[in-house]
Structure 1
Amino acid sequence: MRAEIEAAAEAIRESLALLRRHLDWENAVRRLDELNAISEDPNLWNDADRAQKVMRERTQLDVAVNGYRALERELNDSIELIEMGEAEEDQTVVTDAENVLLALKDKAAKLELESLLSGEADANDCFLEVNAGAGGTEAQDWAEMLLRMYLRWAEQHGYKTEWLEESAGEEAGIKSATVQIKGHNAYGWLKTEAGVHRLVRISPYDSQARRHTSFASVAVSPVIDDKIDVEILDKDLRIDTYRASGAGGQHINKTDSAVRITHIPTNIVVQCQQERSQHKNRAKAFDMLRARLYEAELKKREDAAAALEATKSDIGWGHQIRSYVLQPYQMVKDLRTGVETSQSGSVLDGDIDEFLAAALAQRIKGQGDSEAAD
């Protein structure tokens, strides 16, 4: 085999080894057999909550175990075809099998990364909030650009999005906005995007065409169901109503239907203006608050980065996780992982998978190192 093909085959074998280790293979196969047996019990659905939990665990394990088996089988089949084609001097068979093997390398890398999405809430939908930093119109325009990047990313990956709140900028852009991103592993992929994002460019709002630096913050929290208990006391809340602003049609400003809830002990603020009904906005805002409080608790347990609101207290120098430079050169660089690219236009159009993968891998490695130290 050519060196390139041998290297691809070796990379796939390494991915398989990591997948097997991460899955704890023998225990995973045994547990899947147990769950398959339980799922065939006709009495299982007598307890709907337990049944849903069993089926969810079974589905996740089934995807992981059978994904590994399929990858291993495709690797072996491709190598056999290449060897057979070479022995019979059939270059067409060799070329076709090599192309399959090269594609398999990318599939293996993706499966390896997805196997890391095993956190408590990684599979959930998520709330994503963007806030403009200081700097008026320039920062507000950047916040809108950043939100558009995530919406484009979600669209490219087949996720659905729902606008929950928007506070329009004074001249352009947004002061803040919150969207719900719906789809499997939405939170797992986007959780590492929380933090401050920095933009450097020639401002289109500066008549002297000077270079400006702007900041916007991103907060990400998992959507949680009613089965997860998050205690919220009435005495800890301040609830305000106001007239909605931004997109939404003529009806949106006629009544005080928008709702803002402040959780006083943590200073977490959520707001929703999506619905015409104040009651529905209040219910959605409570869902968002529960998600934010749950995320804060997850971060404590995982000993991850600072509490959720810490990143929002100072949206500026020293707190950024990624820089986007548009002038005098093109570069996007993640300050945590060192990943960078000169394709800034593609990044702002939603091509951020490389950054998500590196940040996720680093986070998992950090947790592993921490556990090893303990």
Structure 2
Amino acid sequence: MAQLEKEQTVDGFWDDIANSQKVVQRTSNLKSKVAAYEKLRQDYDDALVMIELSNEEEDEGMLDECTESVEKFESDLDTMTLTTLLSGEYDAKNAILTFHAGAGGTEAQDWAQMLFRMYCRWGERHGFKVTTLDFLDGDEAGLKSASILIEGENAYGFMKSETGIHRLVRVSPFDAAGRRHTSFASVEVMPEID
């Protein structure tokens, strides 16, 4: 981190806007990881102190506070563990998702749109910026193909395992006879390469 901060002070650093943005973003990501670790360490120390105090004072009321403190620490630790697992070569990159309806006409196009909406909402719910890059409507409903960009830290790391063919079996709302249909849609996930 010190190396990146030193690089920002070099004359002419801001002349190359693309490179300077990358360095500033990388510095910001590292600072947030260090701050998260330091906060986790402090929460751990605080929980230990609370437990020691409740043992010394034999106070039943502090037991609830201790339990709450330990549960919060465990939750934060799980989050940090997940972040550590997302340390592959491209895991920190933004993700580009491409959806294609498979064979099955309107039913498959509807399924592709369901997947599209699901991943868009997932991204928004997890604090990522979601941008539609391309969208081709289906014949009656749904979509034939679409692409989205999910921007944020570890977006590709979270999404990379979603690549593949997704299958849906249901009674089709588009079939007047009410028959069961199997629909397919493909999802391709790629990292956004700088």
Do the aligned residues in 2 keep the contact of 1:167 with 1:176 (CA within 8 Å)?
A: yes
Alpha-carbon distance between aligned partners in 2 of 1:181 and 1:114, rounded to the nearest angstrom: 17
Q: CA deviation at 1:192?
A: 1.6
Which letter maps to 1:160? K
In the alignment, which residue of structure 1 is the partner of 2:31? 62
> In the superposition, relative to structure 1, how do residues 45 and 204 fare at CA in structure 2: closer, same or farther (>3 Å)?
farther
Do the aligned residues in 1 keep the contact of 2:91 with 2:158 (CA within 8 Å)?
A: yes
Q: CA deviation at 1:127?
A: 1.8
Task: Give aligned pairs, total.
Answer: 191
Q: Pairwise mapping of residues 111-190 of structure 1 onto structure 2 (< 5 A)? A: 111-190=80-159
Question: Is 2:15 the partner of 1:46?
Answer: no
Q: CA deviation at 1:134?
A: 0.3
Do the aligned residues in 1 keep the contact of 2:7 with 2:13 (CA within 8 Å)?
A: no
Question: Is 2:162 the partner of 1:193?
Answer: yes
Q: TM-score, normalised by structure 2?
A: 0.85
2:89 is paired with a residue whose SS is coil
2:53 is paired with a residue whose SS is helix
Alpha-carbon distance between aligned partners in 1 of 2:123 and 2:71, rounded to the nearest angstrom: 27
Gaps of 5+ in 1: 1-31, 226-374
**Could you say what the CA RMSD is over the residues aligned between the two structures, in angstroms?**
2.3
Match of 1:80 among 49, 58, 71: 49
In the alignment, which residue of structure 2 is the partner of 1:90? 59
Identical residues among aligned pairs (%): 44
> In the superposition, relative to structure 1, how do residues 51 and 151 fare at CA in structure 2: closer, same or farther (>3 Å)?
closer
Do the aligned residues in 2 keep the contact of 1:45 with 1:51 (CA within 8 Å)?
A: no
Do the aligned residues in 1 keep the contact of 2:171 with 2:178 (CA within 8 Å)?
A: yes
Q: CA deviation at 1:215?
A: 0.8
Deviates more, 1:182-191 or 1:172-181: 182-191
Gaps of 5+ in 2: none
Alpha-carbon distance between aligned partners in 1 of 2:121 and 2:68, rounded to the nearest angstrom: 30
1:44 is paired with a residue whose SS is coil
| Residues 162-194 of structure 1: per-residue CA shift (max 9 Å, x gap) | 222222111111111112222222222212211
Do the aligned residues in 2 keep the contact of 1:86 with 1:94 (CA within 8 Å)?
A: no
Q: CA deviation at 1:131?
A: 0.5
2:85 is paired with a residue whose SS is coil
In the alignment, which residue of structure 2 is the partner of 1:13? none
In the alignment, which residue of structure 2 is the partner of 1:207? 176
Alpha-carbon distance between aligned partners in 2 of 1:41 and 1:208, rounded to the nearest angstrom: 68
| Residues 266-293 of structure 1: per-residue CA shift (max 9 Å, x gap) | xxxxxxxxxxxxxxxxxxxxxxxxxxxx
Alpha-carbon distance between aligned partners in 1 of 2:135 and 2:56, rounded to the nearest angstrom: 64
Which letter maps to 2:110? D
Do the aligned residues in 1 keep the contact of 2:172 with 2:181 (CA within 8 Å)?
A: yes
Q: CA deviation at 1:41?
A: 7.0
Q: TM-score, normalised by structure 1?
A: 0.47
In the alignment, which residue of structure 2 is the partner of 1:220? 189
